[in-house]
Structure 1
Amino acid sequence: MFVRSIFARLSRRKVSAYPLLLCMGLIDEVSAGIPVVALPLLRDHLGLSYAQIGLLFTVAALSSMLLEPLMNLYSDRGSKKRWILCGLLVLATTDIIIGNATIYLVLLLAFILSAPAGKAAIGLSQATVIDAAFGEETRTMTRWTLLSGIGDSLSPLLVATFVTLRLGWTELYWLMAISWLSVALLLAPLRFPTHAGPAVLPEKQDKASPWSNLRDALRDPLLVRWAALSLIPTMLDEVFLGFVALYLRDIVHISEAGIALIMLLQMLSSFVGLLLLDRVLKRRNLRPVHLLTLLALTTLLGMVVLLFAHTLWLTILALLVISGSCAGWYPIAKAEAYACRPGSSGLVRTVISLGAPFEMALPGAIGLISLNFGVLAGLGVLGLAPLLMLALLPYRQER
């Protein structure tokens, strides 16, 4: 009765879910980092081989790649609240299964269900806050990315704390299950924000088939271009950091402790870059194309120094410049993609998700290049990212 009374009061007061939805990226990054950071705990928990561990992440990515476009496409037909709440409940259930599984097949099925559930809960939370931020898409995406970065840094700390307390894989996943269930209970009575600006599509198109809307969106060259631009930052994300670590060890000959310190400095540089971007967006009315051009040129300068100057201090300086300048690529590009179709964030996410095969193939492709031509060649291919950004920016197109 007490819980029901609280829910009723929150519903009557129409408390907005916006602040909690904005923090979903932070919670997700903490959760997503656990199976990566705690892999030794999982291996010891079930005695898994390297191949079995790799298969878990592969099938999860494939499941997400197949189901995410469908969920995004149909989420625009009404409130995204039910999609988000269902995703949270499935996440809580699968986390309980993952934490307590004793059979590999059960663990595999839980990973298959967990990945698309996460896309529904987290991805559509992002879409909801973007719909409510008409005209402020870039600042909203910058804040989302900054909060996500904080969550990413908290994940190793959480795992280390659990290991120190002699708690393991099961306890970690029970904590995450409780967290997802708590978020669902908090969100259930709250008022979800609605689209704050005019819809770009005529009313008759809102009633059209989602597939016809998708075909129409794919014929929009500006949307497709921004969708492609939102994928390019993947080249300078986790894959780049992983091969930078190998470069620092094999070419520059830095110790593991030194590499960890440099990675920490890179993370701090990204935070600073996002904070500065938020300040710039607040005080100056700069066109996204001009801002991205400046950031891409700065990143390109850092990449040239990284690839051709192999002294320690220049390498560290180049990595800090790259991390600080490329941090703003993703929020700006994705915000512009959303802005191409106001009120149709699910449709925009569907177009962007069609690039998932690129993200899946990238680590393996860079690995093969590095195997055959050396780690510096692999970094060189990833270093093409700022050139791709500059080549694809829509300098002459206005939305």
Structure 2
Amino acid sequence: MLYRLITARLQATSLLRLTLFSTPLLDEMVSGFLSIGLPLANKQLGLDYTQVGLLFGAGALAALVLDPFINLLSDRYAKRYWILGGLVLLGVGFALASIHNFVLLLGAFALIYVSISAAVGLSEAALIDQNPQESARTMTRWTIMASIGDLLGPILVSLIIIQEGGWSRLCWIACIACLTMACILGVQRFPRTAQNDDEEGEDAPSVRLLDGFREALRDTKLIRWTILSLLPTMVDEIFIVYATFYLRDVLSVNTSTIGILIAIHMIGGFLGLFVIDRVLLQRLSPERLLMCLALFVIASMVGFLTLRSAIWAGVMLFLLGVSVAGLYPIATAEAYKRFPGRSGTVRAVASLGTPFEVVLPYVTGFVADRFGVVASLCLLGTAPLLIILLTPGKSR
């Protein structure tokens, strides 16, 4: 059944949209190379923990500074060239990362982070611009593809390690994948959108960039939806990290069982996105659906922390996966709807929340050190409460 559904969708979808929908898969896969495969580089280059932190810090800082400008300019000039340029530079970044030199590696990480924003972030924006009214479904399917990439990254790294491959081989695989996707996109025509007369990149006549950005910052509903799109970060990967500590240190679950429980959580996420895409988006308004999912997250979180057994932990993690997976795509889709045809401006506003994502792991770690891992999970568990408080009323 799932195979027939996917086949039908592929037949009804243009090659351009298929390629753009593949970029989150590529993003999560090569990002997995950076995070999971870095110990290979650590071994070959003799990096210490401080240098490893500097690598990720350089990337985050470069993205923090440049992302708003890239996103804003993408509303004036055709996104096609930003996406293609981002993919090419992403390939160059991984080629540089393969060289065993710390300074080059530092520059490579900065280039990779910025290129991901241009290539992947603007692929998402281009898909939204093609059909703004279907933004919720687009974002749900985008998140499904990203989840598949999350799975492929560790698998590929493991296969390369088994074959005694090193950091350089990982980097060259990522480089070839990025350049291949750039070639596939390069021969395709992007459709006309509201902010671009054609794909050749003429100036957008409608909105001056800075004036449009100020207008977006004054839109209170956009700001609320942007905050709502950031809050799911608290119950995403960082939650999994501290949930793992909770299972090990509080419930005394062994490592192999923890792996199974986390896999159950991921399966729940896939199922949740599938149900949202196929059923719930047709039956509930985005506001009501977001509220229902947030309530479901609260109930599952309470169960996870109070039912002290591995079996119940697995059940609650599955339910958390089902409910958490839809929070980000729904909120992000509603943010895009505030400014149809100006997805770059919406992304520029959203990029102002990057410091929150950077600081959150440190704050959570501080709370865990001072008050325990349960306290850190309670802190992260405030996300659905904030979502309920901030979700706007149903649009008329």
Q: TM-score range by the shorter chain?
A: over 0.9
Aligned residue in 1 for 2:361: 363
Q: Give CA-to-partner distance per residue, 1:109-166, whole Å, 9 cap, x none.
A: 1111111111000000000001112211101100000010001001010011111111
C-alpha separation between the residues in 2 aligned to 1:160 and 1:312?
27
C-alpha separation between the residues in 2 aligned to 1:33 and 1:228?
26
Q: Give the residue type in structure 1 aligned to 2:297.
A: T
Aligned residue in 2 for 1:174: 172
Q: Give CA-to-partner distance per residue, 1:15-41, whole Å, 9 cap, x none.
A: 752210111101111011111111221
In the TM superposition, residue 178 of structure 1 has moved relative to its aligned partner by: 0.8
C-alpha separation between the residues in 1 aligned to 2:209 and 2:276?
35
Q: Give the residue type in structure 1 aligned to 2:359.
A: A
Tell me, which stretches of 5 or more residues in structure 1 are unaligned? 1-14
Aligned residue in 1 for 2:161: 163
Aligned residue in 2 for 1:135: 133
In the TM superposition, residue 91 of structure 1 has moved relative to its aligned partner by: 0.7
Contact 2:132 2:336 in 1 (8 A): no
Equivalent residues in 2 for 1:246-261, closer than 5 Å: 246-261=245-260
Contact 1:128 1:194 in 2 (8 A): no
Say whether residues 1:55 and 2:64 are aligned partners.
no
C-alpha separation between the residues in 2 aligned to 1:117 and 1:288?
31
Contact 1:128 1:193 in 2 (8 A): no
CA RMSD of aligned residues (A): 1.8
Contact 2:76 2:204 in 1 (8 A): no
Contact 2:195 2:204 in 1 (8 A): no
Q: Give the residue type in structure 2 aligned to 1:193.
A: P
Contact 2:271 2:322 in 1 (8 A): yes
C-alpha separation between the residues in 2 aligned to 1:194 and 1:271?
33
Equivalent residues in 2 for 1:374-385, closer than 5 Å: 374-385=372-383
**Which of 385, 390, 393 is the matching residue for 1:392?**
390
Contact 2:233 2:357 in 1 (8 A): yes
In the TM superposition, residue 205 of structure 1 has moved relative to its aligned partner by: 9.3
Identity %: 41
Aligned residue in 1 for 2:146: 148
Aligned residue in 2 for 1:228: 227
Contact 1:131 1:194 in 2 (8 A): no
Aligned residue in 2 for 1:274: 273
Q: Give the residue type in structure 2 aligned to 1:337.
A: A
Q: Give the residue type in structure 2 aligned to 1:274.
A: L
**Which of 189, 192, 195 is the matching residue for 2:193?**
195
Aligned residue in 1 for 2:42: 43
TM-score norm. by structure 1 comes to 0.91
Q: Give the residue type in structure 2 aligned to 1:252.
A: L
C-alpha separation between the residues in 2 aligned to 1:226 and 1:170?
41
Contact 2:94 2:174 in 1 (8 A): yes
Aligned length in residues: 378
Say whether residues 1:244 and 2:243 are aligned partners.
yes
Say whether residues 1:318 and 2:287 are aligned partners.
no
Contact 1:235 1:382 in 2 (8 A): yes
Aligned residue in 2 for 1:336: 334
User: Alignment partner of 2:77: what SS?
Assistant: coil
In the TM superposition, residue 45 of structure 1 has moved relative to its aligned partner by: 1.5
In the TM superposition, residue 317 of structure 1 has moved relative to its aligned partner by: 1.5
Moved over 6 A (4+): 196-199
Q: Give the residue type in structure 1 aligned to 2:232.
A: P
Q: Give CA-to-partner distance per residue, 1:311-354, whole Å, 9 cap, x none.
A: 22222211111111010001100000001110000000011111
C-alpha separation between the residues in 1 aligned to 2:22 and 2:224?
28
Contact 1:28 1:148 in 2 (8 A): yes
Moved more, 120-129 or 52-61: 52-61
Aligned residue in 1 for 2:262: 263
Q: Give the residue type in structure 2 aligned to 1:219.
A: R
C-alpha separation between the residues in 2 aligned to 1:87 and 1:198?
19
